[in-house]
Copies of this chain bind each other. A is one copy, B any other.
């Protein structure tokens, strides 16, 4: 990047790297094995012993809730540009964000409640989330409609006296598999007859409300991603008090817009971290393996791919940091082209780099012995969730066309 990281970032980054060296990297095998053991025993939807063990240590070390630019609740004054490199580091190990209470969808949910919630909502849900005592789900996508067009969302939220009555079927509700997931933010229609962008609302629904049913998990290229998980959740005549509404009826799109920017930066920087690690693994494997009398690394076809990987990663990182900087300086709305661009660029880039790394590993690359196939599955999915590539490319193109009209 062409500005040095801020002192704040430099300090946090150094301390996080030390934490990774001491607590995260050495425990990757243990985490993998603990979850595999749960799975073999028939129920992987359990808290990770390792993560629960590391959370207090991270909190103690002051590496906690760093995503939140809040005087008391996070890191005072931390900007998107400051936080971005920490996300890249967390992208290297898929479960590491939870250790620092910095993992999706909790980060977005906490931001949402912090920004749009009442004091009562904050007391009840934000505090335990910030403390890492509970986790949360975000229920938006639905199986029956093309959710890439959010106006398609069908879940119904009907006022009934002092309550809302909610009916709908959601899926790919990430994080909802975890046993400590206690609260959902649900997007649905309060007024189907309102103008297109005023039909939707967001409401808080506690997990244990009657009528909430976690039906099953959805796999991602064969992975269950337990204990986090991507769940199908049925909401049948679920009743919550009207005080659970966020911001107000019909303001769901407004919240969606507001919460969207920072999450994009987080996702994209994690994709970049994943790609960096995949490139390291690719390089190491190519230098270690011999075929036809020389290391694979000596073959110029691999030189091409290594060089392309480096070029793509560095470009995606600069683009994302630039988007973060724009968000920090001119706001989400002005930065919407940049935010859409990174949503397309970063996961496409990481898919490509990880795919090359898989190829460099041969059959081992698709197996459980390396993290690569799992990383590919995840990065490929990022190209779809929060809006598929096509939707974002359309948005970018429309802004570009408008410039010349």
Contact = CB atoms under 8 A, between A and B. Distances in A.
A289 B400 contact: no
Contact of A2 (B3, B301, B401): B3
Contacts of A291: 146, 148-149, 152, 391
A42 B374 CA distance: 22
Contact of A369 (B218, B306, B391, B401): B218
Contact of A141 (B171, B309, B363, B369): B363
A338 B307 CA distance: 11
A366 B341 contact: no
Interface stretch (A240-248, A252-260, A316-324): A316-324
Nearest to A337: B310
A56 interface: no
A404 B310 CA distance: 14
Interface string A384-403: 11001111111111101101
A97 to B, nearest CB: 20
A308 B388 CA distance: 14
Given A297-B401, A366-B377, A344 B393 contact: no
Contact of A300 (B287, B301, B314, B338): B301
Contact of A367 (B148, B220, B289, B316): B220
A345 B316 CA distance: 13
A14 interface: no
Contacts of A311: 319, 341, 344-345, 396
Given A221-B373, A405-B287, A363 B390 contact: no
A259 to B, nearest CB: 19
A223 to B, nearest CB: 4
Q: Which of under 10, 10 to 19, 20 to 34, or 35 or more describes the interface residues of A?
A: 35 or more
A102 B223 CA distance: 29
Contacts of A405: 287
A191 interface: no
Contacts of A398: 303
Nearest to A323: B2
Interface stretch (A15-23, A128-136, A278-286): A278-286
Given A1-B2, A279-B400, A283-B404, A308 B393 contact: yes
A138 to B, nearest CB: 13
Given A318-B322, A380-B366, A219 B222 contact: yes
A390 B222 contact: no
A363 B318 contact: no
Interface in A21-68: 40, 42
Contacts of A358: 380, 384
A3 B368 CA distance: 43
B148 A362 contact: yes
Nearest to A172: B363
A221 B221 contact: yes
A383 interface: yes
A323 to B, nearest CB: 9
Contacts of A326: 2
Contact of A290 (B141, B146, B376, B389): B146
A300 B299 contact: yes
23 contacts: A40-B42, A145-B290, A146-B291, A147-B363, A149-B291, A172-B367, A220-B367, A221-B222, A222-B373, A222-B377, A299-B390, A300-B300, A303-B393, A304-B397, A307-B400, A315-B319, A318-B319, A358-B380, A359-B383, A362-B388, A363-B381, A366-B380, A366-B384
